[in-house]
Structure 1
């Protein structure tokens, strides 16, 4: 990582690991896995209703005062104020409560599921009985699968245009050209939520403009969005942009109120864009795609036109001859350009010698016995040969 330390770490809460992270990654924010905390709540308190309320309090986006009030009500209702686990969790609330973690970048992760999903993929390819040679072979297969899956995701992001589904179609179209397809889906959900919000008040100060955003029919729910014109920068009191890296619905409501058609650069995190891979060794600058992904795109294009040639070029003998000769010439030129023309010349020479020997260029049909790959019974396969 060239000396760059992580800004955030998620673990299962082991004490030794917490000490190590604090010593080695002193500037990183350490978060406890939400799934492990829910399991610990069940095993320590043994009350399903408590686990449900604790989970809601852990994941809820409350203000600090509201969080403190709900915590006191919860522990008082179940009478667990003096439990050691409850006291320890309250002291570590800045490591698990969304209220206190808000503003720290975790890219939307709350659990160690990313690591667990990687383990699940590895288990599909690697078994404990493998020796070292087999391990390396199957591990390479696993890497190939993961790279292929990434190529497919890049291909989907670079081709086509998603159908616009929100009332803010200009903003939606702008985001569709910037974000990867998966991130765009998350952004669009925020854009849908923005349609349920309205700007109820605006105030101008010496440094910025402040907008109060409220939800329809819920006047008590208010968020403050500040706009700094010189930096073209938006900030919201919910701090979800800082936590996830995607503009929150409150900021998007203000963008709609100001009739801004394009997503400002200050609201676009480079890691979520199509150009995130540009400048990285092994990637080219065409949309941030890997060379394998570009090859897939080009292969699909060539396959489309070759299929048209096959369907129409095989109908008549003279058309077939012209199509075949043209394709042979194209392939010869391609291999000559890449410095591998010897094989092509030998193949072309062999083909024309065979045609001259037979004295005909018409398509003939021959029969060859072959077994079915499914039922293993013998049959007849029709082959077309020059």
Structure 2
């Protein structure tokens, strides 16, 4: 992809696939899908409380030492030391526990559900199709909806400004201009107090932001900005999407963007009687 080598891979627990990755691309950091792991834990152990504790061990930003302590505690608490699944997961913890994967870039992904959801939606769409033409139309319809969602996200990022939630007005304003809407929300979460977050996800961690606030920075240094999460991420990549978007599609995208923005605005305005009346009167004036 654009002359860059693969650095990360997320797969199911298929052993043949694991062997292939280790043999063909040994330099790639391999991670097992969290959804499949938690599903198998529930299916094999059958205790929702164990599954919840197992999931906490899997996703928590602990150190390796903290994880090992918590893992032994969970295994002992539920008396599953001799269960084959638990033994296997203990031996492969480096493939699924966040503690062992922290510091390696996975684009904030833990599962293969993005492609799984695509496969599921296509399976539903194709269930009653009988001809090859029906199949092609169903696939094109799914791809069209994906492009529509992307268009809406791009429109929201370029044409709207997120609400500010902290007193760091200048810092938030600067970064809202840089990051896409979804990336900025993750940035805001960190702005309100984890180690190696930047290396793992690609967004500044709370410790870095705390130092910037202490130094009275009103902007984010370029060294803490990964182009992947910015509004300019697509600028250097070739586009294969038809830019001649039909007017009705653009109208739908604008409507979706306005509805999304106004929904949060209405929620905030409804918190007090005064803000409710002000918002209502302004909307009446505009319409």
Q: Same fold (TM over 0.5)?
A: yes
Other structure's SS at 2:208 match: helix
Instruction: State the partner residue of 2:211.
Output: 254
CA distance in 1, matches of 2:191, 2:91: 36
* Match of residue 196, structure 2, among 239, 261, 266: 239
| Residues 281-305 of structure 1, C-alpha deviations (whole Å, 9 max, x = no match) | 338xxxxx98457x86xx77xxxxx
Q: How does 1:163-312 map to 2 (within 5 A)?
A: 163-192=163-192, 194=193, 238-282=195-239, 291-292=243-244
Cα deviation for residue 128 of structure 1 reads 5.0
Point out the more displaced range, 26-35 or 137-146: 137-146
| Residues 139-186 of structure 1, C-alpha deviations (whole Å, 9 max, x = no match) | 223322222221221111111322322121111111110011121112
Instruction: State the partner residue of 1:68.
Output: 68
Other structure's SS at 2:109 match: coil
Count of residue pairs brought into register by the alignment: 251
CA distance in 1, matches of 2:136, 2:216: 56
Cα deviation for residue 92 of structure 1 reads 0.7
Cα deviation for residue 123 of structure 1 reads 4.0
Instruction: State the partner residue of 1:7.
Output: 7
CA distance in 2, matches of 1:120, 1:167: 43
Structure number with the higher strand fraction is 1
Can you give the 5+ residue segments of structure 2 that lack an aligned partner in the other structure? 252-287
- Please provide the CA RMSD for this pair: 2.6
Cα deviation for residue 39 of structure 1 reads 2.0
CA distance in 1, matches of 2:172, 2:141: 38
Instruction: State the partner residue of 1:374.
Output: none
CA distance in 1, matches of 2:78, 2:173: 50
Change (3 A) 1:66 1:137: closer
CA distance in 1, matches of 2:207, 2:229: 20
CA distance in 2, matches of 1:159, 1:113: 29
Judge conservation of contact 1:13–1:32 (CA < 8 Å) in 2.
yes
Change (3 A) 1:75 1:144: closer
Can you give the 5+ residue segments of structure 1 that lack an aligned partner in the other structure? 195-222, 224-237, 284-288, 301-386
| 2:67 paired with 1:32 | no
Greater C-alpha Rg: 1
Judge conservation of contact 1:151–1:292 (CA < 8 Å) in 2.
no
Cα deviation for residue 126 of structure 1 reads 3.4
CA distance in 1, matches of 2:180, 2:69: 40
CA distance in 2, matches of 1:279, 1:76: 52
Instruction: State the partner residue of 2:160.
Output: 160
CA distance in 2, matches of 1:56, 1:243: 18
Judge conservation of contact 2:129–2:135 (CA < 8 Å) in 1.
no
Judge conservation of contact 1:151–1:290 (CA < 8 Å) in 2.
no
Judge conservation of contact 2:122–2:138 (CA < 8 Å) in 1.
no
Instruction: State the partner residue of 2:263.
Output: none
